[in-house]
Structure 1
């Protein structure tokens, strides 16, 4: 099979939410909102952020009346479509937090991210949520000279942001090969603060847990408008002391929010199970997560079923902040991901693609996640995770708990609380800008793959323009 043609299995599926939900089954919808109701907290959206917030609020104050309002079903969005990285990244946000709030604030935020990885693992164990969790860490792999140089040059700033000697370890080519053999790899950095998960199992398990705790989870209930103390849905109005927006990449679909966060498209493919000979050649015996250092970036996991799931940016943005809710992926994007897969792991050359899907993540204009609560209006939000929401949503849930309960804690003093940023540019500037930037990043990758020994000036210019 050639990487220039798409190799699909007889059972190939495009879209249908995700492979993760294909494994566990798309759930039957819970009942919709029955009409107008009054609650203490209304959570708009049924993903990780809303579920974790509900979980921690109910733990702290069991008599709270909490309603989750979800257009489709819990986990339909990014929570059930992501790459399965429970990771403590991204470091780039910490640099911006440090610039605005000081180095100590950024270090505190980073340490909380480390702790949040273990918090998710602990809660899953305590609540009996089986989500294929295995904490073998994260490998950032350099496959050309420019990428290798970036890894090394970034290390001092990461140390300053709270990444200690045990938090980030440099690996040479041979040390990396002892964990996994990536074709053309020159070295890597390994962090223990990352675990492999099966996203749909985690989000379904968490939804079941909060429902048992007494949280009302209304599915098939689209929220069309949010106002102080109320959320308007297609089935009635929910009055609440607090209305918390937890829509992440779907925020742009809410009336009046089209320019708040950009819905960035990300796509994935997953292979058929690899034969034993393929795994022997790759040498990937653990559950480390793998990311490369390309500007266009990819994220990879080995599933419990012996498959490889790999994701990256295909067509990153649709005009007018529209999204394809069914998650179908264009052939060109599937080919792009298949090519990266074959390049990194030549042993997959004869292995077919079994499923492909897409989803959207929320991107603020400054690429930094935020948590906010306005006591006067009762309106709040959390999100803008820029693709690192599996862990960050847990930290957001605990932070929102403290803000809603009016507790002044270390979490409510973190630098992302009440962070404000301007909205994205109006169309067509938004579409032209995003599409042009990703054309530039791909050109920079080609430039660096041709033998350049330092980061391409194209990528440096794109970073400045994008605000990354």
Structure 2
């Protein structure tokens, strides 16, 4: 099926909320009802219940990556600690990572406090080493985390296999700062929560233009002192933002519910998320209803930063994901795969996420999460609320605040470079397997 597992298990389709109908005056206008926009509205209303906040959304709340992702609420950052240290200093790098780790727990606390049943289970994340090169990488990652004062447990072969009974496991790592969850349940629950707080969400209302003091749509203009761009992989569709980020598709598959006998062999008893340490990203989780939901990169970048519904499926990539999952867990042979889907995520030119506010114009933004946005969007929402309400906090001093990534190259250089890089990563992984 091309409908995502998450949509099928979150109660199915829901009727769209009403469109915007005429001009509107508010204090803060947010464009995008994904996690970034929803968390920003949530924390703004908590900071100041008198603020008038409204969201416009081109589709429905949780339509994009927020409702389709792998369900990893993790402290992962797409930019490494050494790179952050070189750019911003060691203290800033450590503070950023510590804030991300704390944010994982914040998501769980808010979900519990607001009655959002999103299948949140903080079992940590396993990075399996399934070759000599990957085992070397696992040891290096554990040593680097320790050097910065963070916990990343190095697991020997027996320990790693006891947690996750995949094939060819040489060892691995375990990071406690990760929870598995149901991403669309979280998005829909957040949307209902902020509506209870008095924040309207105008769905099927695409923004045509963001400008200082206004968001123009086909159904009216929202005038506001602050305008927040929270559009992630859909940002290139906005005027003037074509090269701000590139939309890269990540695709997923899911099995039917698996029997207890499978889980007795496979483990993941705490619903640990899992990957292995190949270069081309893969990611999986044991869902609350006993399936494997598994995804990865590998889909091509589409010329001109195009985003289309037809790109949500790529038979070659979906077949490769099924093959990889069966390779990891041979007991899946003959198991039915019930769902295959995908969607775009946003990548900045320097792979550095950012959140910021230009106080002179009132224009704010957050994004560039590179697929690690389930927790990062929460931190972004808290930070945007601090910036907009004028509060200086530890969050507003983090190194992603007001970071400006360079633009991506114009076409066709963008298309050539990204897809050549993708092919190179695939080739390196294939070479590593041959040498193992």
Interval containing the TM-score (normalised by the shorter chain): over 0.9
Q: Which of the residues 134, 139, 147 maps onto 1:160?
A: 147
Residues 177-207 of structure 1 deviation map (CA, whole Å, 9 limit, x = unaligned): 2211010111110011111100011010000
Q: Given that residues 114 and 193 in structure 1 are in contact (C-alpha distance below 8 angstroms), is that contact kept between their aligned partners in structure 2?
A: yes
SS in structure 1 opposite 2:240?
coil
Which deviations, in whole Å up to 9, do the C-alpha atoms of 1:269-289 show, x marking residues without a partner? 001111233222323322000
SS across alignment from 2:73: strand
Residue 126 of structure 1 pairs with residue 110 of structure 2: no
Q: Distance between the aligned counterparts of 1:405 and 1:326, measured in 2?
A: 41
Which of 377, 390, 403 does residue 361 from structure 2 map onto?
Answer: 377
Deviation digits for residues 392-425 of structure 1, max 9, x if unmatched?
0000000001100111111100000011121001
User: Is it true that 1:20 corresponds to 2:32 in the alignment?
Assistant: no
Alignment match, 2:415: 431
Q: Could you tell me which residue of structure 2 aligns to residue 94 of structure 1?
A: 81
| 2:355 aligned counterpart, secondary structure | strand
Tell me how far 1:347 sits from its aligned partner.
0.8
Task: Confirm or deny: 8 A CA contact 1:106 1:415 kept in the other structure.
Answer: yes
Q: State the Cα distance separating 1:291 from its structure 2 match.
A: 1.1
Matched, 1:186 2:173: no
Please list every run of 5 or more consecutive structure 2 residues that lacks an aligned counterpart in the other structure.
Answer: none
* Structure 2 length-normalised TM: 0.98
Question: Partner residue of 2:326?
Answer: 342
Displacement after TM superposition at 1:58 (Å):
0.3
Matched, 1:388 2:372: yes
Which of 249, 261, 286 is matched with 1:302 structurally?
286
1:81 and 1:144 map into 2 onto residues whose CA distance is 30
How far apart are the structure 1 equivalents of 2:316 and 2:423? 14
The 3-state SS of whatever aligns with 1:53 is helix
Kindly indicate whether the alpha-carbon contact (under 8 Å) linking 1:97 and 1:416 is maintained by their aligned counterparts in 2. Answer: no
1:137 aligns with 2:124: yes
Residue pair 2:78, 2:369 contacting (<8 A) in 1 also:
no
Q: Deviations over 1:283-326 (max 9, x none)?
A: 33220000111111200000111110100013141111001236
Corresponding position: 1:246 with 2:230: yes
CA RMSD after TM alignment: 1.2
Contact 1:179 1:284 in 2 (8 A): yes
Q: Given that residues 93 and 368 in structure 1 are in contact (C-alpha distance below 8 angstroms), is that contact kept between their aligned partners in structure 2?
A: no
In the other structure, the counterpart of 2:96 is 109
Aligned positions, number = 435
Partner of 2:155: 171
Counterpart Cα distance in 2 of 1:341 and 1:247? 31
Per-residue CA shift, 1:22-70, capped at 9, x if unaligned? 1121221001111111110001101000111100110110011101110
Cα shift at 1:168: 1.1
Quote how far apart the aligned CAs of 1:176 are.
Answer: 1.1
In structure 1, which of residues 33, 47, 57 is the aligned counterpart of residue 20 of structure 2? 33
What is the 5 A alignment of 1:332-371?
332-371=316-355
CA distance in 1, matches of 2:110, 2:352: 26
Preserved contact between residue 78 and residue 370 of structure 2 (Cα < 8 Å):
no
- Of 262, 268, 274, 1:290 maps to 274
Q: Which runs of 5+ in 1 are unaligned?
A: 1-12, 453-468
2:208 and 2:398 map into 1 onto residues whose CA distance is 31
Counterpart-to-counterpart distance in 1, 2:336 and 2:321: 12
With structure 1 as the length reference, what TM-score do the two structures score? 0.91
Instruction: Determine the C-alpha separation between the residues in 1 that align with 2:78 and 2:388.
Output: 28
Q: CA deviation at 1:217?
A: 0.6
